[in-house]
Chains A and B, each alone.
Chain A
């Protein structure tokens, strides 16, 4: 049975390669220069304009939810076979165990409360980044007339329409684009991260947590050093806002740059060369997910430890 599955997988791969080798040259003889746009492209669904990054985000959510629902179905049903994990359950448990142990090393006993949020950050960002590498992202969509800038001519092959390298008045609006290439998504994640850091800080230290930002006590009774402490508190307030910007732009910059890199390299050398960059993007996607989770954990550790405290 396993042998049949392996043969089938190889046949599917060969079929996909053959399909792209035939379909590619059918569309055009030269590769189309990519149209790079920072804002998400939108397409009309009834009265609503839907950004293609929203479709990428929903797809990432579906994959993640589907994976974990399937992986935990024996546990949720309370079946005895859940005690000896197999297949997908093994994978899901291994991912959770690895991340949970890693975060316990950073946050200690404080980690338990924060694990769901931190692991969700990691998994969502990872899946949203990696899903961009699937065929169809940024390449399949609606052909629309260009209102501004350069466009391409089109060529129909059966029911399919391709952009060609010649100048014209059409452009492609892809159905799917990676969620993190839209600044709104990383910024939303950053806002959640910074807000939850404050929540965990208040839970750990009470309302006194805010004295690190506005330290009236130091100002009134601390003399010159008290004044300095008060000013440092103001700087710390500013740093909370800069965290939102740095979180958001780091993730957005890395993933958007990855998308641009893949488009540029695929247009310059369409065969073989992009493979190296796809591998690089796997690495970058994982590093960014890990960095986002680690930074949230580190800032939470700082917020919940209390000023000047160290173990």
Chain B
């Protein structure tokens, strides 16, 4: 049985996917490094080693995961919105 031929992404969709992937790729490390830096600084200032470092870094894990999921979902929603807009446009141009 022949499978339907897949077209794949075009120029705009490819650029959109690249933008979303690049953001997702950087988010986790930024959040966790900020938490680590802040924790080490607070511990050295307040003499509470290791509690602030541990607490902030532990807290940053669910925060970063939540942000990654939100970013991915919003990218998917925007992509769907874009797709439906484009299909509307092409239908309108056909009707004309």
Determine if A269 and B50 form an interchain contact, defined as CB atoms under 8 angstroms apart: yes
In the complex the two chains form, is B29's CB within 8 Å of A310's CB? no
Which among B6, B22, B28 is the interface contact of A105 at CB below 8 angstroms?
A: B6
A264 engages B53 (CB within 8 Å):
yes
CA distance A287 to B69 in the complex (A): 12
B14 interface residue (CB < 8 Å to A) = yes
One of A54-62, A142-150, A250-258 at the interface: A250-258
CB closest residue in chain A, given B17: A298
Closest residue on chain A to residue B9 by CB atoms: A301
Whether A219 sits at the interface, judged by CB under 8 Å, is no
B10 touches A309 (CB 8 A): yes
List, in ascending order, chain A residues with CB within 8 A of B26's CB: 250, 253-254
Q: Give the size category of A's interface with B.
A: 35 or more
* Contact (Cβ within 8 A) B18 A302: yes
- A253-B29 CB under 8 A given contacts A268-B54, A294-B17: yes
Once A265-B57, A280-B61, A298-B17 are accepted as A-B contacts, the answer to whether A111 and B25 lie under 8 Å apart by CB is no
Query: Chain B: which residue is nearest A103 at the CB level?
Result: B8
Decide yes or no: A302 and B54 within 8 Å by CB, A254-B25, A257-B33 being known contacts: no
- In the A-B complex, list the 7 residue pairs whose CB atoms are closest, starting with the nearest: A108-B8, A310-B10, A301-B14, A268-B50, A291-B25, A298-B18, A302-B14
Q: List 6 A-B contacts (CB under 8 A).
A: A108-B7, A109-B5, A109-B6, A246-B22, A253-B26, A301-B9
